[in-house]
Amino acid sequence: MTASKEPESITLQDVAKAAGVSRTTASNAFNRPDQLSAELRERILAIAHQMGYSGPNPMARMLRTGRAGAIGLVFADSLPYAFSDPTSIAFLQGVSRVCERAKASLLIVPTYDSEAAQETIQQAAVDGFILYCLDENSPAINRVLDRKLPVVIVDLAARNGIASVKVDDRQAARQAAEHLIQLNHRQFAILSLELLPDQYIGAVTPQRIQQATFQNTLDRLFGYQDALSAAGIDFSQIPIEECPGNSEELALERALHLLQQMPRPTAILAMSDRLAIGALHAAEQLGIAVPDELSVIGFDDIPLASQIRPTLTTIQQPLVEKGAIAAQLLLETNPPTTSKLLPTQLIVRESTGIAPAR
Amino acid sequence: MTASKEPESITLQDVAKAAGVSRTTASNAFNRPDQLSAELRERILAIAHQMGYSGPNPMARMLRTGRAGAIGLVFADSLPYAFSDPTSIAFLQGVSRVCERAKASLLIVPTYDSEAAQETIQQAAVDGFILYCLDENSPAINRVLDRKLPVVIVDLAARNGIASVKVDDRQAARQAAEHLIQLNHRQFAILSLELLPDQYIGAVTPQRIQQATFQNTLDRLFGYQDALSAAGIDFSQIPIEECPGNSEELALERALHLLQQMPRPTAILAMSDRLAIGALHAAEQLGIAVPDELSVIGFDDIPLASQIRPTLTTIQQPLVEKGAIAAQLLLETNPPTTSKLLPTQLIVRESTGIAPAR
DNA sequence: CTGTTAGCGCATTCAA
DNA sequence: TTGAATGCGCTAACAG
């Protein structure tokens, strides 16, 4: 038998030849139905299919058109973590909703270590990036900025000329603390998210706060401080426990520790709902009644917050919308440059109540 | 002032010229550090940076090398739904873990309608696809297969020569039903996932079962039937309620309906944990004690299953691992062709117990 | 409606 | 070590 042709890579050229038309016409058959007769188009498509041609090569087309048809999403975190944290999942929901409408694909770029970030961000064939990042020092930030594509940053301090989406964490945290102050609480403790990317667990010192690179965490901390100081409470005396990875288990453990101090706090300010839920479990373990003996307030308003018992008082931030707006900014404004500050809202549920009499 | 050069698109060529070297050498500076002296490399990189060159254009490089550095993930569902369903999120966690290790990006391809699927799947610049799909008739399947790239299909009936990952749903469902039969139950009801992609809500007829295109649902249904028939129970008498979208709210509503029938079922077989949780809420609303008066068994073992009260008896399937294995098959075998059947396990918790005396 | 002409920006032969 | 040439596969002008 005579050697059959290479089965590899049939090109538009081959299809055109087989159909007896020019490359352009073949190309138009795929991309510009209006540029040729319907019947010719059908014939070309049929021949292409029959030859096993799978359509114009996306890479060649991208090079030619300069458009990738995808936006990149950079989480400056490990991906499995991002896919397990309710806040980032809600964010993804919002992003994906807008992408779907725009028929844009979503490229999730791993940046596990700075070396990986270097490579993967550089090689991402996208039309723009959403940078979802909490650590101001993350190397991924500059990698993304270096690409000189449209960028929207989320939850990061605004930068010159770069579109950003965030909420006023400080004001929101202040509101959370004020809620408890109004309920007569004076003995506070704080469950904090990470301040630095070093996986440190435990008591937070003033030095640590000074070195902090997670602006979000810092803002919430300052928000608590604003309210407490205004109420005449000495912030430096308030125990703060850091729980990296937004871990419920860790929060449970640190809350147990906090609740065994004397005098026992009557209110816990948790920087996320997961941390708050950890605190709720700790209270349960110790037989401390919520909200009668202990009030707990969270942050985020994740779906679970309204499902657990007691339901969780928290600060609602529009998680899904944050993703949707970021994607919209990226896809619909050119170049994206406006920054959005999204509203938050205190949601009072069952986990907070009047402070117990002393 | 004399016009400055176009700020647009500096190429490797420009960098080479500015550095006084050839294109090749400039290219090597980025891709083959060992092909030129370290000092020359540094110089070139410095000049490139200074010129505002952001590194080799990913699209051009992809075209040249034929590698995209990304794998495509096609959910044959709306993306916001995929990002809200605990089973697909767990799957994503697994996929992303492996991608991260392999420094491969993950392209999430929207396929909301068949027209979108046509375009987005065709234009995805990826090295292979994971097809996560429940509906055997989804147009996305052929779109993906047409691309003639390595493919791993998940939760879909195996196809000739195509790698697949799934669990033995039928056997697993059978085990769930057998568990309840052993607890002496005789009055059953079923909360079903969708059988067809038509958003139908309510009672399932034999005709509908015959037309079903969601193989998963069908397998679980047959698994229940296997066990019940073996126990001498007439399957055709068992009420089945279909709850599309794996919706807890819908399950609550349909379970309320089921629990108001006479004779009231003593056991509910739910095809997912979310449906089971809906049933639990229904029982709570009606003041029916679980497990004393009603047993409920789920499927999947999502994280919430062990957190709600009563904790949920369920069939555990390795959700995260399913994603990890799919990604591994795609990234590490070439071409992927072996199929994996993953184990399931009955997890007995608090929501099932001995049937109440008649 | 169709074909001809020109690159998109790069990585890789091969020869120097 | 470096440089000159080649084409990856395609689309967009433009002229027939």
Read off the pLDDT of residues B156-190 as tens digits, 9 standing for 90 and up. 988 889 999 999 999 999 999 999 999 999 999 99
A23 touches strand C (CB under 7 A): yes
Largest CA distance in chain A: 97
A31 touches strand D (CB under 7 A): yes
Report residue B43: phi and psi, to 5°.
-60, -45
Å from A48 (CA) to C14 (C1')? 36
Residue B322 pLDDT > 50, yes or no? Answer: yes
Query: What residues of chain A lie within 8 A of the CB of B116, using their CB?
Result: 100, 103
Angle, helix B273-286 to helix B248-259, in steps of 10 degrees: 50
> Structure tokens of B48?
């490139």
Mean pLDDT (whole number) for B330-342: 90
What per-residue confidence (pLDDT) applies to A288?
98
Segment B261-308, tens digit of pLDDT: 999 999 999 999 999 999 999 999 999 999 999 999 999 999 999 999
Exposed/middle/buried for residue B34 (C-beta within 10 Å: 0-12, 13-18, 19+): exposed
Q: What is the mean pLDDT of chain B?
A: 93
Separation between Cα atoms, residue B219 and residue A179, nearest integer Å: 52
A97: CB partners within 8 A, 6+ apart: A320, A323, A324, A327, B79, B80
The DSSP H or E segment spanning A15 is helix A12-19
Separation between Cα atoms, residue B219 and residue B203, nearest integer Å: 18
Cα–Cα distances in angstroms (integers) from residue A169 to residues A197, B257, B348, in the given order? 19, 44, 43
B76: CB partners within 8 A, 6+ apart: B111, B117, B131, B132, B133, B134, B135, B138, B140, B141
A147 touches strand D (CB under 7 A): no
CB contact under 8 A, A93 and B84: yes
Separation between Cα atoms, residue A224 and residue A201, nearest integer Å: 20
B23 touches strand C (CB under 7 A): yes
Test the A interface: residue of B64, B100, B143, B144 with most A CBs within 10 Å: B100
Query: What residues of chain B lie within 8 A of the CB of A146, using their CB?
Result: 54-55
Give strand letter and number of the nucleotide nearest B23 (CA to C1'): D3
Largest CA distance in chain B: 97
> Structure tokens of A43?
């014939």
Name the residue among A59, A78, A120 with its Cβ closest to that of B62. Answer: A59
Cα–Cα distances in angstroms (integers) from residue B152 to residues B141, B163, B218, in the given order? 11, 5, 21
DSSP, residue by residue, A284-327: HHHT--TTTT-EEE-SB--GGGGTSSSPPBEEE--HHHHHHHHH
Name the residue among B63, B80, B105 with its Cβ closest to that of A124. Answer: B105
Residue B225 pLDDT > 90, yes or no? Answer: yes
A147 touches strand C (CB under 7 A): no
Query: A306 and A317 in contact (C-beta within 8 Å)?
Result: no
Separation between Cα atoms, residue A167 and residue A90, nearest integer Å: 15
> Structure tokens of A258?
């906090």
Residue B124 sits at the chain A interface (C-beta within 8 Å) = yes
Q: From A45, A40, A106, A49, select the one nearest A72 (Cα to Cα).
A: A106
Return the half-sphere exposure (C-beta side, CA atoms, 13 A cut-off) of residue B190: 27
What per-residue confidence (pLDDT) applies to A336?
87
Minimum CA–CA partner of A31 in chain B: B119
- The partner residues of B152 in beta bridges, in order of sequence, read B130, B163
A295 touches strand C (CB under 7 A): no
Name the residue among B57, B82, B103 with its Cβ closest to that of A110. Answer: B103
CB contact under 8 A, A116 and B125: no
Residue A10 sits at the chain B interface (C-beta within 8 Å) = no
Minimum CA–CA partner of B61 in chain A: A123
Report residue B233: phi and psi, to 5°.
-100, 135
Q: From A73, A108, A126, A300, select the one nearest B92 (Cα to Cα).
A: A108
Residue A21, Cα to own-chain centre: how many angstroms?
49
Separation between Cα atoms, residue A87 and residue A81, nearest integer Å: 11
The DSSP H or E segment spanning B238 is none
Min CA distance, B106 vs chain A (Å)? 5
Report residue A135: phi and psi, to 5°.
-90, 115
Q: Per residue, what are the HEC states of B331-351?
A: HHCCCCCCCEEECCEEECCCC
The H-assigned helical ranges of chain B are: 12-19, 23-31, 38-51, 58-65, 79-82, 86-102, 114-123, 139-146, 169-182, 206-211, 215-230, 248-259, 273-286, 319-332
- The C-alpha angle A12, A16, A18, rounded to 5 degrees, equals 115
Residue A264, Cα to own-chain centre: how many angstroms?
35
Confidence class of residue B194 from pLDDT cuts 50, 70 and 90? very high
Q: For strand C, give the nucleotides within 7 A of a protein CB.
A: 1-13
pLDDT along chain A (358 residues), means of 10: 46 88 89 86 90 92 94 95 96 97 96 88 96 94 94 93 96 98 98 97 97 96 98 97 97 98 96 98 97 98 95 98 98 88 98 93
Cα torsion angle, A230, A236, A237, A243, sign: positive
Report residue A196: phi and psi, to 5°.
-135, 155
SS3 at position B209: helix
Which 69-98 residues of chain B touch chain A by CB within 8 A? 69-70, 72, 78-80, 82-84, 89, 92-94, 96-97
Report residue B234: phi and psi, to 5°.
-75, 105
β pairing state of A163-167 and A240-242: unpaired
A27 touches strand C (CB under 7 A): no
Query: A304 and A298 in contact (C-beta within 8 Å)?
Result: no
Min CA distance, B263 vs chain A (Å)? 31
Segment B29-63, tens digit of pLDDT: 988 888 888 888 888 889 898 888 989 999 999 99
CB contact under 8 A, A107 and B112: no
Which 164-223 residues of chain A touch chain B by CB within 8 A? none
Min CA distance, A263 vs chain B (Å)? 31
CB contact under 8 A, A120 and B58: no
Give strand letter and number of the nucleotide nearest B28 (CA to C1'): C11
Query: A314 and A270 in contact (C-beta within 8 Å)?
Result: no
Name the residue among A61, A89, A122 with its Cβ closest to that of B83. Answer: A89
Name the residue among B63, B78, B106 with its Cβ closest to that of A108. Answer: B106
Min CA distance, B146 vs chain A (Å)? 6
B13 touches strand C (CB under 7 A): yes
Amino acid at B89: I
